[in-house]
Homo-oligomer: A and B are copies of this chain.
């Protein structure tokens, strides 16, 4: 698929068929992640591929707990009806884990380095575009507490879960929520 088509056609998918995922497709998507840029090419990431049903269930429970917690904190009424059941059906959840010790020059700033998180986010975007090109449904899921996900996945306390990438065969055809036009978000200094 053309790269501009993939960028424009990628959608957030929240409905998946509950069938196993082709391993070769998964590896193509993970390989795409690796080619993201990172400060000093430190590749400050690892990818935990969760297909285990018990662990997916735990992730679902965390998302559901977090949904209720955020609803209370935020007052965002749309969360009342935000259904995270798709986390039980999706066959693969890839946790993208960042390593703060492999950030760039920004690690010396008083507020600490964020470059490793940016690199992980670029890796996620590569995965989503690759999935789109392969007709795989994907979702960048972020409704979780990183500390809880770290425990569920048995990660060292020095690592930070950045994103959960859901991958599966899509049910239906997710719509785009649209975007603001360039004139609203671009300023020129000529």
Residues of B within 8 A of A27 (CB): 182
A182 to B23, CA, bound (A): 13
- Contact A4–B133 (Cβ < 8 Å): yes
Interface magnitude class on chain A? 35 or more
Copy number in the complex reads: 2
Q: Does A19 contact B (CB under 8 A)?
A: no
User: Which residue from B1, B35, B129, B162 sits with its C-beta under 8 Å from A118?
Assistant: B162
A152 to chain B minimum Cβ distance, whole angstroms, is 9
- Contact A35–B7 (Cβ < 8 Å): yes
- Contact A142–B115 (Cβ < 8 Å): yes
- Contact A47–B185 (Cβ < 8 Å): yes
Residues of A within 8 A of B (CB): 1-8, 10, 12, 27-28, 30-32, 34-37, 39, 41, 43, 45-52, 55, 66, 69-70, 73-74, 76, 79, 104-106, 108-109, 114-115, 117-122, 124-126, 128-130, 132-133, 140, 142-143, 145-146, 153, 162-163, 177-180, 182, 185-190
